[in-house]
Chain A
Amino acid sequence: EDKVVQSPLSLVVHEGDTVTLNCSYEVTNFRSLLWYKQEKKAPTFLFMLTSSGIEKKSGRLSSILDKKELFSILNITATQTGDSAVYLCAVVEYGNKLVFGAGTILRVKS
Protein backbone atom coordinates (compact mmCIF):
# COMPACT_ATOMS: atom_id res chain seq x y z
CA GLU A 1 0.00 0.00 0.00
CA ASP A 2 1.28 3.42 -0.92
CA LYS A 3 2.18 5.55 2.06
CA VAL A 4 3.74 8.84 3.05
CA VAL A 5 5.14 9.18 6.56
CA GLN A 6 6.02 12.50 8.14
CA SER A 7 8.05 13.13 11.25
CA PRO A 8 7.96 14.47 13.81
CA LEU A 9 4.20 14.52 14.34
CA SER A 10 4.52 17.77 16.26
CA LEU A 11 7.22 20.20 17.19
CA VAL A 12 7.47 23.22 19.49
CA VAL A 13 10.34 25.65 19.00
CA HIS A 14 11.24 29.21 19.90
CA GLU A 15 11.43 32.08 17.48
CA GLY A 16 14.76 32.12 15.70
CA ASP A 17 15.27 28.38 15.85
CA THR A 18 15.85 26.28 12.73
CA VAL A 19 13.59 23.29 12.13
CA THR A 20 13.80 20.30 9.82
CA LEU A 21 10.68 18.40 8.86
CA ASN A 22 10.93 14.94 7.35
CA CYS A 23 8.87 13.08 4.78
CA SER A 24 9.51 9.51 3.63
CA TYR A 25 7.45 7.69 1.06
CA GLU A 26 6.69 4.38 -0.55
CA VAL A 27 4.61 4.77 -3.68
CA THR A 28 4.25 2.75 -6.82
CA ASN A 29 4.50 5.41 -9.52
CA PHE A 30 6.31 8.44 -8.16
CA ARG A 31 5.97 11.63 -10.17
CA SER A 32 6.83 14.42 -7.77
CA LEU A 33 6.65 15.48 -4.13
CA LEU A 34 4.83 18.52 -2.84
CA TRP A 35 5.00 20.45 0.40
CA TYR A 36 2.00 22.40 1.66
CA LYS A 37 1.43 24.70 4.63
CA GLN A 38 -1.97 24.57 6.28
CA GLU A 39 -3.03 27.11 8.85
CA LYS A 40 -6.69 27.40 9.72
CA LYS A 41 -7.94 27.08 6.19
CA ALA A 42 -6.96 25.26 3.03
CA PRO A 43 -3.46 23.95 2.33
CA THR A 44 -1.30 26.42 0.45
CA PHE A 45 1.43 25.28 -1.91
CA LEU A 46 5.08 25.66 -0.91
CA PHE A 47 7.28 23.52 -3.15
CA MET A 48 7.21 20.92 -5.88
CA LEU A 49 10.22 18.60 -6.09
CA THR A 50 10.84 16.28 -8.98
CA SER A 51 14.60 15.80 -9.16
CA SER A 52 16.99 14.50 -6.53
CA GLY A 53 19.54 16.76 -4.97
CA ILE A 54 18.22 20.07 -6.26
CA GLU A 55 17.31 22.40 -3.46
CA LYS A 56 14.23 24.56 -3.81
CA LYS A 57 14.34 27.76 -1.81
CA SER A 58 11.84 30.46 -0.93
CA GLY A 59 12.94 32.96 1.66
CA ARG A 60 13.59 31.16 4.92
CA LEU A 61 12.15 27.89 3.60
CA SER A 62 14.02 25.31 1.59
CA SER A 63 13.44 21.73 0.58
CA ILE A 64 15.29 18.90 -1.07
CA LEU A 65 14.39 15.47 -2.40
CA ASP A 66 16.34 12.21 -2.32
CA LYS A 67 14.74 9.78 -4.77
CA LYS A 68 17.22 7.04 -3.97
CA GLU A 69 16.47 7.01 -0.26
CA LEU A 70 12.81 8.02 -0.83
CA PHE A 71 12.61 11.03 1.41
CA SER A 72 12.42 14.78 1.46
CA ILE A 73 13.13 17.41 4.07
CA LEU A 74 11.71 20.87 4.60
CA ASN A 75 13.91 23.34 6.44
CA ILE A 76 12.77 26.56 8.03
CA THR A 77 15.46 28.90 9.33
CA ALA A 78 15.00 31.79 11.77
CA THR A 79 11.47 30.64 12.56
CA GLN A 80 8.74 33.16 13.29
CA THR A 81 5.40 32.79 15.04
CA GLY A 82 3.75 33.08 11.63
CA ASP A 83 5.38 29.80 10.65
CA SER A 84 3.11 27.99 13.10
CA ALA A 85 1.01 25.64 11.01
CA VAL A 86 0.58 22.07 9.88
CA TYR A 87 3.07 21.17 7.16
CA LEU A 88 1.85 18.52 4.76
CA CYS A 89 3.91 16.39 2.45
CA ALA A 90 2.23 14.76 -0.54
CA VAL A 91 3.49 12.49 -3.27
CA VAL A 92 2.07 12.79 -6.76
CA GLU A 93 1.38 9.46 -8.45
CA TYR A 94 0.17 8.57 -11.91
CA GLY A 95 -2.67 10.68 -13.18
CA ASN A 96 -1.87 13.43 -10.71
CA LYS A 97 -3.28 11.54 -7.73
CA LEU A 98 -1.90 12.80 -4.41
CA VAL A 99 -1.10 10.70 -1.37
CA PHE A 100 -0.77 12.86 1.73
CA GLY A 101 1.16 12.31 4.91
CA ALA A 102 -0.47 12.98 8.26
CA GLY A 103 1.39 16.27 8.61
CA THR A 104 3.73 17.85 11.14
CA ILE A 105 2.25 20.35 13.56
CA LEU A 106 4.74 23.15 14.12
CA ARG A 107 4.29 25.68 16.87
CA VAL A 108 6.71 28.58 17.14
CA LYS A 109 6.69 30.32 20.51
CA SER A 110 7.65 33.96 20.87
Chain B
Amino acid sequence: DAGVIQSPRHEVTEMGQEVTLRCKPISGHNSLFWYRQTMMRGLELLIYFNNNVPIDDSGMPEDRFSAKMPNASFSTLKIQPSEPRDSAVYFCASSLTQGTQYFGPGTRLLVL
Protein backbone atom coordinates (compact mmCIF):
# COMPACT_ATOMS: atom_id res chain seq x y z
CA ASP B 1 0.00 0.00 0.00
CA ALA B 2 1.34 3.45 -0.91
CA GLY B 3 0.06 5.04 2.25
CA VAL B 4 -1.41 8.53 2.40
CA ILE B 5 -0.06 10.70 -0.40
CA GLN B 6 0.24 14.45 -0.11
CA SER B 7 1.35 17.07 -2.58
CA PRO B 8 3.22 19.26 -2.81
CA ARG B 9 5.77 18.27 -0.19
CA HIS B 10 7.03 21.82 0.06
CA GLU B 11 5.41 25.09 -0.91
CA VAL B 12 6.82 28.59 -0.71
CA THR B 13 4.48 31.41 -1.65
CA GLU B 14 3.95 35.09 -1.12
CA MET B 15 1.38 36.60 1.15
CA GLY B 16 -1.95 37.01 -0.58
CA GLN B 17 -1.52 34.08 -2.96
CA GLU B 18 -3.85 31.11 -3.06
CA VAL B 19 -2.43 27.81 -1.81
CA THR B 20 -3.94 24.40 -2.54
CA LEU B 21 -2.78 21.30 -0.70
CA ARG B 22 -3.75 17.87 -1.95
CA CYS B 23 -4.27 14.51 -0.31
CA LYS B 24 -4.96 11.00 -1.49
CA PRO B 25 -6.04 8.75 1.39
CA ILE B 26 -5.28 5.06 1.76
CA SER B 27 -7.58 3.07 -0.49
CA GLY B 28 -10.58 1.76 1.41
CA HIS B 29 -10.33 4.26 4.25
CA ASN B 30 -13.52 6.23 4.75
CA SER B 31 -12.34 8.96 7.11
CA LEU B 32 -9.95 11.76 6.18
CA PHE B 33 -8.41 14.39 8.41
CA TRP B 34 -6.48 17.61 7.87
CA TYR B 35 -4.07 18.75 10.59
CA ARG B 36 -1.73 21.68 11.01
CA GLN B 37 1.42 21.49 13.08
CA THR B 38 3.46 24.43 14.40
CA MET B 39 6.01 24.78 17.12
CA MET B 40 3.75 27.11 19.06
CA ARG B 41 0.47 25.21 18.86
CA GLY B 42 1.52 21.62 18.24
CA LEU B 43 -0.73 19.38 16.17
CA GLU B 44 -4.22 20.76 15.57
CA LEU B 45 -7.14 19.12 13.83
CA LEU B 46 -8.56 21.45 11.18
CA ILE B 47 -11.36 19.42 9.65
CA TYR B 48 -12.34 15.83 9.07
CA PHE B 49 -14.55 13.99 6.62
CA ASN B 50 -16.44 10.74 6.94
CA ASN B 51 -17.58 9.13 3.70
CA ASN B 52 -16.64 12.35 1.87
CA VAL B 53 -18.91 14.48 4.08
CA PRO B 54 -17.38 17.16 6.34
CA ILE B 55 -18.21 16.20 9.93
CA ASP B 56 -16.39 18.75 12.05
CA ASP B 57 -14.71 21.89 10.73
CA SER B 58 -14.50 23.68 14.06
CA GLY B 59 -10.73 23.66 13.86
CA MET B 60 -10.60 25.65 10.62
CA PRO B 61 -9.00 28.94 11.67
CA GLU B 62 -11.07 31.33 9.57
CA ASP B 63 -12.89 31.82 6.31
CA ARG B 64 -9.65 31.92 4.37
CA PHE B 65 -9.43 28.15 4.85
CA SER B 66 -11.65 25.72 2.98
CA ALA B 67 -11.53 21.97 2.38
CA LYS B 68 -13.28 19.70 -0.06
CA MET B 69 -13.52 15.99 -0.64
CA PRO B 70 -15.16 15.45 -4.02
CA ASN B 71 -14.64 11.68 -3.90
CA ALA B 72 -13.26 8.93 -1.70
CA SER B 73 -9.75 9.17 -3.11
CA PHE B 74 -9.04 12.89 -3.10
CA SER B 75 -9.22 15.92 -0.85
CA THR B 76 -7.96 19.49 -1.01
CA LEU B 77 -7.24 22.13 1.59
CA LYS B 78 -7.21 25.65 0.20
CA ILE B 79 -5.97 28.87 1.78
CA GLN B 80 -7.02 32.07 0.05
CA PRO B 81 -5.49 34.56 0.62
CA SER B 82 -2.50 33.11 2.43
CA GLU B 83 -0.77 34.94 5.27
CA PRO B 84 2.65 34.46 6.91
CA ARG B 85 1.01 33.06 10.05
CA ASP B 86 -0.30 30.17 7.95
CA SER B 87 3.25 28.84 7.66
CA ALA B 88 3.23 25.35 9.13
CA VAL B 89 3.35 21.69 8.23
CA TYR B 90 -0.03 20.46 7.04
CA PHE B 91 -0.74 16.76 7.49
CA CYS B 92 -3.46 14.67 5.97
CA ALA B 93 -4.43 11.41 7.67
CA SER B 94 -6.91 8.68 6.83
CA SER B 95 -8.52 5.81 8.66
CA LEU B 96 -11.35 3.37 8.71
CA THR B 97 -14.21 4.53 10.93
CA GLN B 98 -13.03 4.32 14.55
CA GLY B 99 -9.73 3.01 13.36
CA THR B 100 -6.15 4.16 13.70
CA GLN B 101 -5.27 7.24 11.68
CA TYR B 102 -2.32 6.96 9.31
CA PHE B 103 -0.55 10.17 8.45
CA GLY B 104 0.81 11.35 5.15
CA PRO B 105 4.30 12.86 4.88
CA GLY B 106 2.98 16.40 5.24
CA THR B 107 3.26 19.60 3.22
CA ARG B 108 5.66 22.18 4.57
CA LEU B 109 4.18 25.59 3.77
CA LEU B 110 6.09 28.84 4.01
CA VAL B 111 4.24 32.07 3.31
CA LEU B 112 6.54 35.05 2.87
Contacts and interface: CB of A to CB of B under 8 A. Distances in A.
Whether A and B are associated in the same complex: the answer reads yes
Interface of A: 31-32, 34, 41-45, 48, 88, 92, 95-103
* Residue of B33, B45, B55, B101 with highest tally of chain A CB at under 10 A: B101
Given A31-B98, A42-B91, A100 B104 contact: no
B42 A96 contact: no
A9 B99 CA distance: 27
Interface residues of B, number: 22
B103 A96 contact: no
Given A88-B43, A100-B45, A103-B42, 15 more contacts: A31-B98, A32-B98, A34-B101, A41-B105, A41-B106, A42-B103, A42-B105, A43-B103, A45-B102, A95-B55, A96-B31, A96-B50, A97-B55, A98-B33, A99-B45
Given A34-B100, A48-B100, A102-B42, A97 B106 contact: no
A99 B55 CA distance: 15
The B interface is mostly helix, strand or loop, or mixed, namely strand
Given A34-B100, A42-B103, A42-B106, A95 B42 contact: no
A101 B102 CA distance: 17
Interface in B62-98: 91, 95, 97-98
Contacts of B44: 100
Contacts of B48: 95-97
Contacts of A98: 33, 45, 101
A96 B97 contact: yes
Closest 9 CB pairs of A and B: A42-B103, A100-B43, A102-B42, A43-B103, A96-B31, A45-B100, A42-B106, A42-B105, A95-B55
21 contacts: A32-B98, A34-B101, A41-B105, A41-B106, A42-B104, A42-B105, A43-B43, A44-B103, A45-B101, A88-B43, A95-B48, A95-B50, A95-B55, A96-B50, A96-B98, A96-B101, A97-B45, A97-B56, A100-B43, A101-B42, A102-B42
